[in-house]
Structure 1
Amino acid sequence: MKIDKEISHPIHPQHKLKLEYSEIPFNCEGCKEAGIGFQYKCLQCEFHLHKACAVAPPSFCHSFYNRCEFQFLYAPPGPAMRICDACRDDVLGFVYHCKACGFDLHPCCANLPHVLNDGEQNLYLCHKLSSSCHRCGGKGPGWSYRSQCKAYNLHVSCVKELLAESWQAIYLNVDKNKVREMQTRIPSINGTLQNTRGERGARKVTKYCQIAGGAVSAIVSAILGDPTPIIAAVVGAFISK
């Protein structure tokens, strides 16, 4: 599929947007979510769009919702707050909406790969949890990734929570010279998982932490719009500090 290196977009008609690749997170002006990797950027206005938001098709169907046809909208419909059915976060901008069923998906969530590889094994995107989430210990709503060995599940929402307060609030709109500072402030996935697993033996905890740490880095890179090994490694380095 051909990717245009320069486009015009209706919500930023005054300048062309150029395709760029960055390992520095940005705030997407379309869906209002964090992004990393490929983006369409206005070099004059510092205007950013996820690639998935910038070139979103007007409609699409998802295998999790066989009876739905999602329409792309520049803003959530109606006066009530909308929730993304994949990650359970608020919908604040661009959204895929099924009018018939009322489902909503962030563009990047709609594009989450059905299969990821964390460097050790495949992770499979699931509509519902079959067992408890490795992060929160619950079976709440929202999509999740399940390991190939079926030993653990991770809510997409739980993975986003690992970044939401400490990464997005601090990292977005921060200049590149502060990247090193950020590395010491990202929450430790190891510490978090040790607390949630309890005292089941140091070896087992360490093993689960290593497995989940790799999975989290792969899932985060996909959530941010760029499921590539390079970005996964960058994100993994932040999370595992």
Structure 2
Amino acid sequence: MEFNEISHFSHHEHELKYNHTNTPFKCDGCKEAGIGSNYKCTTCNHNSHIHCTLPSPSITHTFYPKCTFQFLPTPPGSLPRYCNACEKDILGFVYHCKSCGFDLHPCCAKLPTMLDDGEVKLYLCRKVRSACHRCGGKGRSWSYRSMCKKYNLHVACAKEMLVESWDDICYGEVGMYGQSWKVETKIPSLRGTLIKSYHKKSKGKMKKCCQIAGLVVQFVISAVLGDPTTLIAGIVGALLSK
């Protein structure tokens, strides 16, 4: 459930208001990138994902049936930790299982088990033997795979597509109040990200394959950013084409 204006333990100074943006932002809770629905402080530009603003105290996950993940505002212990879903560092809010030591970013913990835009259905898998459309590797992080099993994208690879181009907005030039982020950030183009085997197909089939693979990328990135909706996937698609 979403509330228009709330108080939050991570930001005592001002209340946070429900917001929707087509501009990428850095979440002040988990320190990961976001877009779409969020909670924002209009006074000092504090932003956070919905999942980070309104977390569940504890959760379970179908991939780890014996685990119970507790929400923590900071990573436990003094050693570096990484997310078991995307393999990226844990730098802020986290769901942590004390018994097994597994960690999940809040948005990774809440990744939908299925993404469906009416043309392609993608299912979240813990391990996939087929090659990833981004890296060509197998069995890395969690993946989204199409129902036909022809299209697969690692959650880790989706994040990597964002990291290099979004360094400015997440870790670059920031003013006194954190408001001077470069909003003209680019996301890497789809060119060069698809499996090379497509070149063996006819031009018509190759174009269709690239279009579907492009939809896969758009929807997985939108889910990773915390807003797995058709609207945000379309916006991500427009950014990808720049």
TM-score (norm 2): 0.90
Deviation at 1:151, TM superposition (A): 0.8
- Residue 191 of structure 1: aligned partner: 192
Instruction: Give the letter aligned to residue 167 of structure 2.
Output: A
- Structure 1 unpaired stretches of 5+: none
Q: Contact conserved, 1:126 with 1:144, CA < 8 A, in 2?
A: yes
- Residue 220 of structure 2: aligned partner: 219
SS in 1 for 2:65: strand
Aligned counterparts of 1:26 and 1:134: Cα–Cα separation in 2:
26
Q: Percent identity?
A: 54
- Residue 240 of structure 1: aligned partner: 241
SS in 2 for 1:69: strand
Q: 201-210 or 115-124: which moved more?
A: 201-210
RMSD: 2.0
- Structure 2 unpaired stretches of 5+: none
Q: Is 1:169 the equivalent of 2:167?
A: yes
1:1-241 alignment runs, 5 A limit: 2-166=1-165, 168-172=166-170, 179=184, 182=185, 185-193=186-194, 196-197=196-197, 199-201=199-201, 203=203, 204-241=205-242
Q: Contact conserved, 1:118 with 1:217, CA < 8 A, in 2?
A: no
Write 1 or 2 for the structure with the bigger share of helix: 1
Instruction: Give the letter aligned to residue 214 of structure 1.
Output: L
Change (3 A) 1:128 1:76: same
SS in 1 for 2:140: coil
SS in 2 for 1:15: strand
TM-score (norm 1): 0.90
SS in 1 for 2:234: helix
Deviation at 1:171, TM superposition (A): 4.1
Deviation at 1:206, TM superposition (A): 2.9
Aligned counterparts of 2:100 and 2:182: Cα–Cα separation in 1:
46
Aligned counterparts of 2:47 and 2:181: Cα–Cα separation in 1:
16
Deviation at 1:164, TM superposition (A): 1.0
Deviation at 1:118, TM superposition (A): 4.1
Deviation at 1:178, TM superposition (A): 5.3
SS in 1 for 2:47: strand
Aligned counterparts of 1:213 and 1:222: Cα–Cα separation in 2:
14
Aligned counterparts of 2:144 and 2:26: Cα–Cα separation in 1:
24
Aligned counterparts of 2:101 and 2:138: Cα–Cα separation in 1:
22
Instruction: Give the letter aligned to residue 13 of structure 1.
Output: H
Aligned counterparts of 1:201 and 1:60: Cα–Cα separation in 2:
44
SS in 1 for 2:193: helix
Aligned counterparts of 1:60 and 1:176: Cα–Cα separation in 2:
33
Q: Contact conserved, 1:197 with 1:205, CA < 8 A, in 2?
A: no
Q: 199-208 or 31-40: which moved more?
A: 199-208
Paired residues in the alignment total: 234
Change (3 A) 1:177 1:26: closer
- Could you list the per-position Cα deviations for residues 44-84 of structure 1 after superposition, in whole angstroms to 9, with x for gaps in the alignment? 11111111000001101011100000000011111111110
Change (3 A) 1:119 1:171: farther
Instruction: Give the letter aligned to residue 133 of structure 1.
Output: C
Q: Contact conserved, 1:24 with 1:176, CA < 8 A, in 2?
A: no
